[in-house]
Amino acid sequence: MKKKIIAAAVVAVMGISTYVGINAQKRDAMSDIQMANVEALVSGEGGDLIPCHSSATIDYHRSYTDCSKCERIENYKGTGTEARCTN
């Protein structure tokens, strides 16, 4: 009887240890992903969202950002669909 209780206690301790170990590894993996996201934000990765247009017409007193290239075009007025691009 005493051996069965000791065996059950050993199995319970091993099960609890396995459960705690697996959960600790999962938390470490998540914190690595979170750390990568923080590093990307700090380094400025991604840039700013800039308003842009899909087409334009000539206007010598204006400029606009072209969505396909996300670059500034002088002497044109943006028309068409307005969106945002990443600089």
Query: Is the separation of the CB atoms in 49 and 86 below 8 Å?
Result: yes
Helix, strand, coil shares of the chain as percentages rounded to 5? 45, 40, 15
Residue 45, phi then psi, degrees to nearest 5: -60, 140
Q: What pLDDT is stored for residue 87 in this prediction?
A: 67
Q: What pLDDT is stored for residue 27 in this prediction?
A: 58
Domain map of the chain by residue range?
1-45, 49-86
pTM: 0.39
How would you class 62 by CB atoms within 10 Å of its CB: exposed for 0-12, middle for 13-18, buried for 19 or more?
Answer: middle
Is the pLDDT confidence value at 47 over 70? no
Is the pLDDT confidence value at 10 over 70? yes
